[in-house]
Copies of this chain bind each other. A is one copy, B any other.
Amino acid sequence: MTINFQSLHAPRGAHAHFALGWFGGGGFALESDRAASNDVYIGWKRGSQIACFPFFRNTQSVELAGFVGEQTKTSELAIRAFQETEIERRFLLATDTWQAPHITFSIATPVSGIPSPFAGNRSSSVTRSPRPTGEGLGVRANSPRLAGERLGVRANSPLPAGEGLGVRANSPLPTGEGLGVRANSPRPAGKGLGVRANSPLPAGEGLGVRDSLLPALPARLTLDNRDSTEPLQGFFAVKGMRGLQMLTGPLTGWRTIQGTGFACRPAPNVRAVSHWDLPNLFTPPHPLPFPLADMGVLLIDVPPGETFSLDFALGWYRGGVVTDGAQQLVYAYTRHYQNIETVLDHALHLAPELWDEARAWDERLLASGLNADRQFILAQSVRSYWASTMLFDEPGAREPRLRYVVNEGSFLMLNTLDLAIDHLFYELDTQPWVVRNILDHFANEYAYHDQCGISFTHDQGSYNVFSPRGYSSYEISAQPGCYSYMTHEEVLNWTLAAALYLHKTDDRPWAEARRALFRECYRSILNRDHLDPAQRDGIPDINSSRAEGVDEITSYDSLDPSLGQTRRNLYMAVKCYAAYLALAWLFNYLGQEDQAEQARESARLCEATLTAAFDPRLGFIPALLDGVDTSPIIPAVEGLAYPHRMG
């Protein structure tokens, strides 16, 4: 497999990343709808030879030509990119390392989730203060009643033993087997993570809330000049850094007016310099600090015969109110860090722990028994997930009033609910409190009613603008195809997410507070089969009145009707089946056995309709249960993941 692929190395909840890995560009992004693609030069100079990892497109600055005009010079420096064959890339769950002649570069990504900031607090507000959710983490049970089985595992625990990283049926993880439960795991197998003997992670509660919100990543550049009689200069250089300001005092590095930066601790052989490109950086009187130029550089002198390893940090910071519309919010990290200097400083302070934690996570995945492709998919998608996360707080609030958002890829929609149901598996393992946080904001602000009852909006806004209560940024009434309503699917998603959350966390007070809402959801789902109970067959038949006469759509809205249409859709029908089972579990959990039995009956009705629809000539159930369609669809089985997860 090629090592030429882009990865988004990202802190948590900052909608930020440092893109690196693709041969052609990368670098810093903050609140961007795409991966950064600036030139990044990581390499060394010895004599007139410069060699870099191939993370750039240009060796000479385009901007520079605007300034120097007729004075453009050609450089006598030979700049070359390492060939792919010269580079070894070790792309693991939490660290990414490139090695080439005389140089090694590593960057670590935290993957352990944000511990509940409310742990230990008591609050009567259902919306604002999820109670501690560390409880029950890592516990897998077949019984819906977990109350007697809680283990005192820590809120910020890495991958809970005995649980996988989430999606299992139809997933890259082998069914019934999680990461870290093997004999050769660095963490002893057991029930939960209460057992700490021999753990490679730091003892105690792990990195706390403040540390987990740190919008920074540790990086390490190692230069090996042992085979030489010439001095070597190693460098980490990133283009596209507008408005550079040099960091001095306890930090050596650069920050930009755009809210990005990097720094190390002062050292006699390390300098912060800058220029437009490498040829100019190495032309006297340079290297010098030259903040007009947009390439910030850390430059390291390594004498002949020596090696040197530089630890530094990549950071992001955006202060002030950053959202608009229905909510004007700040990033939660601004409560803990005053500016990018404090972020970088703390990241350097924390670097040893961050590296230790990252390596422990790497080991877990390596020991998981997953094949290389599955390990790759997991490591890549976890990073992309974090790059899309935002944790907000209200400006000036005494106590944190947090709002967690996953920002949909290049579309930048806030908390798309039909995606929340996908990454919830990872969140339940790493930070279950955010699932509740998202569900609460949907319940309190983005629920609405149509002729069938309650449902939830497709999203909560877009481009950092929260949409008005009860409306998504996506759904349009009377709109055929894309941008129609997803009413039926979203009420299923909310219901399934709530059940999975409770199954995982045993958060009984929340379940009690939402008791009426679960009944409302059940009624709404039933009505979307048919308003007349006598005519129900367990699968979707009604379009929402919000859609105003056109078909509702599904999460697969950009595809043809075999997946795009809601009514009598197999993918939706299986999801209904899962929702009925989940509701049966929920009602049972809440002691409402009558309701539970009704929900089980609904599931059986759905199951019967599905079974009857199996076409022996085709060998499968067709995509649309309309007696006409004969398409097969893979997502037919998607809905089975939920009851599987819930045992």
Contact = CB atoms under 8 A, between A and B. Distances in A.
A50 to B, nearest CB: 21
A465 B291 contact: yes
A597 to B, nearest CB: 42
Nearest to A288: B476
Interface in A532-563: 548, 557-560
A538 to B, nearest CB: 28
Q: How large is the interface on A (under 10, 10 to 19, 20 to 34, 35 or more residues)?
A: 35 or more
Nearest to A564: B71
Contact of A71 (B66, B71, B324, B558): B558
A290 interface: yes
A195 interface: no
Contacts of A288: 476
B483 A290 contact: yes
A285 B477 contact: yes
Given A243-B465, A564-B71, A478 B411 contact: no
A337 interface: no
A372 interface: no
A475 to B, nearest CB: 9
A344 to B, nearest CB: 16
Given A324-B245, A464-B257, A411 B67 contact: yes
Contact of A243 (B285, B464, B481): B464
A68 interface: yes
A288 B464 CA distance: 21
A504 B147 CA distance: 85
A396 interface: no
Contacts of A482: 67-68, 71
Interface string A406-450: 000011010000000000000000000000000000000000000
Interface string A245-258: 10000000000010
A82 interface: no
A71 B481 contact: yes
Contacts of A324: 243, 245, 257
Contacts of A464: 243, 257
A69 interface: yes
Contact of A559 (B66, B67, B69, B244): B69
Interface string A150-187: 00000000000000000000000000000000000000
Given A242-B463, A290-B476, A291-B465, A558 B67 contact: yes
Contacts of A22: none
A66 B411 CA distance: 8
A324 to B, nearest CB: 5
Secondary structure dominating the interface of A: loop
A204 interface: no
Interface in A286-306: 286, 288, 290-292
A476 B285 contact: yes
Interface in A473-490: 473-474, 476-479, 481-483
Interface in A208-262: 242-245, 257
Interface in A47-77: 66-71
Given A410-B66, A478-B284, A482-B71, A292 B462 contact: yes
A320 interface: yes
Interface in A448-498: 462-465, 467, 473-474, 476-479, 481-483
A558 B68 contact: yes
Interface string A550-580: 0000000111100010000000000000000
Contacts of A69: 558-559
A474 B411 contact: no
A325 interface: yes
A462 B67 contact: no
Given A68-B482, A71-B558, A290-B476, A463 B285 contact: no
A463 B70 contact: no
A465 B411 CA distance: 31
Contacts of A411: 66-67
Given A243-B463, A291-B467, 4 more contacts: A67-B558, A243-B465, A245-B465, A292-B483
19 contacts: A67-B411, A67-B482, A68-B481, A68-B482, A69-B559, A71-B481, A71-B557, A242-B463, A243-B464, A245-B325, A257-B465, A285-B548, A286-B476, A288-B476, A291-B462, A292-B462, A292-B473, A292-B483, A320-B320
Q: Sorted from nearest, which 4 A-B pairs have the closest CB atoms?
A: A69-B558, A243-B463, A285-B478, A292-B473
